[in-house]
Amino acid sequence: MPLVKHGAIVADDYVAVADDADLPAGGAVLVSAARLFAEAETLAMRNTPVGVAWPNNRDVAGLVPWLDQLSLIALVFPTFKDGRAHSQGRRLREIYGYRGELRATGQVLRDQFTFLLRNGFDAFAVTKESDAQAFGEATHRYTEFYQPTGDGHLSALQLRKQRHKAVAT
Amino acid sequence: MYAYDEIDQTLVNERVTEFRDQVRRRLSGELTEDEFKPLRLMNGVYLQLHAYMFRVAIPYGTLSSAQLRKLAHVARKYDRGYGHFTTRQNIQFNWIALKDLPDALADLAEVGIHAMQTSGNCTRNVTADQWAGVAPGEVEDPRVWAEILRQHTALHPEFSFLPRKFKFAITAADHDRAAIKVHDIGLKLIRNEQGETGFEVLVGGGLGRSPFIAKTIKPFVAGRDILSYVEAILRVYNQYGRRDNIYKARIKILVHELGIEKFAAEVEQTWRQIAEGPLTLDDEMIEDIRARFVYPAYERLSDDPAELRAAADPKFEAWRSNSVAPHRQPGYAIVTLSLKPVGGPPGDATADQMDAIADLADRYSFGEIRVGHEQNLALPHVAQRDLPALWSALDALGVATPNVNLVSDIIACPGLDYCSLANARSIPIAQELTRRFSNHETAKLIGRLHVNISGCINACGHHHVGHIGILGVEKNDQEVYQITIGGRADEHARLGELIGPAVPYAEVPDVIEDIVEAYLALRDKPEELFVDTVKRLGVQPFKERVYATR
């Protein structure tokens, strides 16, 4: 499954570790929420990046005490029709101020890329190779947006206001 | 009318390009049907019984003559020369080929109409009172707010994959023509004691398998806060709405299971996190939208001009007393065009009719047309002196049947004739009932009576809120129909009550006639509406009348 980060297909630095497997000696790891909570101290002592795979039916507010220690949060789209992680992403970025990697996993297809970017995702474990290759094209299709989100784009309402100001001055 | 600026136009054009690419990938097999389905639905494309069906949004029911002509063009070029206006201020084309859809969309985009989110598990077309902006006594034109909501909900990144579909309706009048109490979010524009404009927000209404009347979640939300507040509702719903069972996925079930107080508390907490943020509207933003609603340059006229007094044709008078409503501007009127001719499928219009209506709108209504959830059209700005001439033209077109709000003004879904979900026919029953009640004098004697027909439990014909509701179900391979009475969709919205066992297809028109006859005998005075008689007496006397001889 290709991983797209910053618009390019890259290798995944993280090793996903099952709950009953030993942690590798070094390197970035991706663990479950249960393991993150149970082995917090051990994980902190490693001094290597730690990521968590967070289920889409659990309140992300539960992650708030850990956000400073996490360099990756992987949210899940079991099917792309299940959009719960869209709200989780926005809350992590815009309400709780999470700045690490926010990765979309599961059935991640080209047709969600723009939505995901707007919701604060910056890494995509893409289901299809062809979609991963089309990332740039798919995410540049839209140039105008109606909603303000934390992605920095001005919404149509904000843009119009700015243009009026420019005309007036 | 709202005039698109280059932002709106660019976005619609970009949507066409995206959909063209999605169709290309589907036709090449790059996208599976499973992957394509949610994408096509979000663009109004259904796979129906016979062909693809294409549903186009008519936001808050307002159309320009140019837009209506373009709909006629799509009907003619890509379909079979007609379209079907639905209960959600949409128009549907029933016979369109998948390969033609991107071109049809591109043609529509030229006049600023789209099919975004007319289906799918996302926020649907925002509907409103079809008389918005012209009805006397409104707080203000609710379409300004409907347009703000349309923009905000179009291609919303967070809410395009909700547990289920999600519908907004908005009104600013005391008499609710937008059926806000049977929507996921209903908004009533009001002014508080400080003179500030805002909304009573209702949530959790809806029909279908489990019908609910919406409850007030907050009695007043200031206009500036409306986007953040509905965002909070949607965010709570997106996270906690059920996804394990499609029949329990609507927000009405979440509200029902949590209770309105608990749900409201959850929304309030979520809202506090985003209130005062970038979603807060300021006067400039609202004014920008308001300024792009162009209103007609009305003449200074007086009500009841001499031309009207001179027109003594009884056919004209019958139509005028039925189809012409007061306007906020003196000397003007709102004219409803009945798409319910005797023997016709409710809500259908041919391409030629659409073109002709567009011409009449240019001539008599400042180029504007409205679409109501009752599946009729309206010309919203007609000078009263023009009514006789307009009537002659409408009559020649077959859209002047004087039955608006009468027993033959039937709301019906397409039913088994078109829809792959349906269990029973709707259209032929509607057609037969319009024949039974074709005598105008009898219909007038009966008074306001809404008959709503759905061909399945999904309730596209809104049968629960029909004064008389007819629901087709399948039993032992037979079409049978459950009859409810006493429902209504207005400010006193309530759900109809079942009168007894379902009746076979062939008996439905007789049963409806029996119910109407029972009402005529039971009402305490001619002014008492059918629905009020039912409220006063309950279903029992109607039940007795219907089942005594069956």
pLDDT < 70 positions in chain B: 311
Residue whose pair of structure tokens reads 């006063």 in the numeric block: B536
Per the structure, the count of domains in chain A is 1
What does the mean pLDDT of chain A come to?
A: 95
* Cβ-defined contact of B157 to A114 (cutoff 8 Å): yes
What pLDDT sits at residue A166? 85
Question: In the numeric block, which tokens belong to residue B57?
Answer: 């949004």
User: Domain containing A50: what range?
Assistant: 3-141
Confirm or reject contact between A161 and chain B (CB < 8 A).
yes
* Cβ-defined contact of B159 to A143 (cutoff 8 Å): no
Note whether residue A134 is domain-resident: yes
Confirm or reject contact between B51 and chain A (CB < 8 A).
no
Burial B21-40 (b: 16+ CB within 10 A, else e): bbbebbeeebbeeebbbbbb
* Cβ-defined contact of A155 to B278 (cutoff 8 Å): yes
Assign residue B254 a region (left: φ > 0; alpha: ψ between -120 and 50; beta: otherwise): alpha
- Looking up residue A30, the CATH number of its domain turns out to be 3.20.20.70
What pLDDT sits at residue A140? 95
Note whether residue A158 is domain-resident: no
Confirm or reject contact between B392 and chain A (CB < 8 A).
no
Cα A12–Cα A13–Cα A14 angle in degrees, nearest 5: 95
What pLDDT sits at residue A164? 84
Spell out which residues of chain A touch residue B7, defining contact as CB-CB under 8 Å.
Answer: 144, 156, 159-160
What pLDDT sits at residue B340? 97
Nearest CB to A81; choose among B161, B235, B281: B161
Note whether residue A155 is domain-resident: no
* Residue B532: half-sphere exposure toward Cβ, Cα within 13 Å: 10
Q: How far does the CA of residue B477 sit from the closest CA of chain A (Å)?
A: 34
Note whether residue A165 is domain-resident: no
Note whether residue A167 is domain-resident: no
β partners of residue B453: B412, B470
Note whether residue A147 is domain-resident: no
Domains of chain B: 6-110 (3.90.480.20), 142-292 (3.30.413.10), 306-397 (3.90.480.20), 411-548 (3.30.413.10)
Terminal alpha carbon distance of chain A: 52
Using CA atoms, how far residue B222 sits from A12, B148, B219, in Å, is 48, 14, 10
Nearest CB to A161; choose among B159, B161, B288: B288
Mean pLDDT, residues A38-50 taken together: 92
Q: How many separate helices (H) and strands (E) can be counted in chain B?
A: 18, 21
